[in-house]
Amino acid sequence: MLVETLGRTPDGQCTAPTLVSDGTKVKDWARLLRVRRELHAAAPQRIIEVVQCCVETAESVTHCETGLVVHGVPIRCAFDEVHGVQVWAGTDDQPPPPRLRVAAWDWVADTELAHHGPGLEELVFARAPEDVRVIRTPPEAFGRMVRFEGRIDYFEMVGTLDGRHQSEVDMLGDDGVVRSFQMVTRADPVARRIRAVMHEFADGAPAQPDVDMTMLRAVSQRADDGVGFVGLSSCLIYEWTRTPAPPLDRWAVERPTVHPDDLAGFRAACAELAAEPAGTDARHLRLRVRFTDTEWIPVRAELSPVLPAASGHGLIKVWPE
């Protein structure tokens, strides 16, 4: 079983954990009060206790009593919090089955950077140990998504920094293999973070690409300018389908600072397109961006909505001025 512990109260305490996967079956934020009751009358309470102990200690925990064994393994994030617990409950003469792989990540709204927990990049991207990094920009992750069923709902959560979301995603690894995952996320408006766990689907159906997004990516590859996708509610450039020309090429793997005077105009343009996308003309912008060791770089940008109107996404083209 996979139990998520992503929720936080305003004072930072964990909210009630929920069951999001039982073996290969996805669960819809199920409460733990009745889980495995058919195995043992005390099983639900012992599972809750093991999960709580894993969260508090960040260590594996085993509880044994007559006729019942409960084993919990915490899923730690890059900030050394516990984002979930893998739980097995059975009789004392049952060997636990092999565990499906799980890893955690966080996205920090104020920096717009993702922080990958232990084993995340090896699991999701089949990445060699020497290429693993903890901190990544959104385009480095979303550029590997072959399919994302809940894209609209997810970015709505990101834009409001409130709520929860889970859906299936297909990711392209460094080895060229597409793998399917259950992505479970919760927003924390106080810490201004998205917390998440990625759970592998061992017996998932063959990956089916998102046709609309695949076509958009293919068309943008033929453009001369840098082309990316923007979540209009969050103003987040989450994927570059064509890397911008130098000196803006670093934008594909770094998050530059946008001049405060220009950032307000960019956010206003995103809000306008989000409010009335249908039949809306593209917005033409002038921006100044700066990377860690550069001066301000003048940039021309064109922002347009991605149809259908309900998608909540925009397409941005950028080129050096």
Domains of the chain: 2-90 (3.30.450), 102-200 (3.30.450.20), 211-320 (3.30.450.20)
Comparison of pLDDT for 280 and 196, the residue scoring more: 196
pLDDT at 146: 87
Place 68 in a pLDDT band, splitting at 50, 70 and 90: very high
Mean pLDDT over 6-22 rounds to 93
pLDDT tens profile 130-146: 999 999 999 999 888 88
Please provide the DSSP assignment of 50-101 as one string: HHHHHHHH-S-EEEEETTEEEEEEEEE-TTS-EEEEEEEEE-TTPPPPPPPP
Average pLDDT estimate for 155-169: 93
86-130 confidence digits (pLDDT tens): 999 999 888 888 888 999 999 999 999 999 999 999 999 999 999
Number of Cβ within a 10 Å radius of residue 231: 25
Q: Has residue 307 got a pLDDT over 80? A: no
Is the pLDDT at 211 greater than 60? The verdict is no
- Higher pLDDT, residue 142 or 59: 59
Q: Is the pLDDT of residue 60 over 60?
A: yes
Digit-coded pLDDT (tens) for 222-250: 567 899 999 998 999 999 989 999 999 99
Residue 276 structure tokens? 């009335």
Give yes or no for a contact between 219 and 315, defined as CB atoms under 8 angstroms apart.
Answer: no
Chain center to CA of 23: 22
**Is residue 1 very low, low, confident or very high in pLDDT (cuts 50, 70, 90)?**
very high
**pLDDT score of 208 more than 80:** no
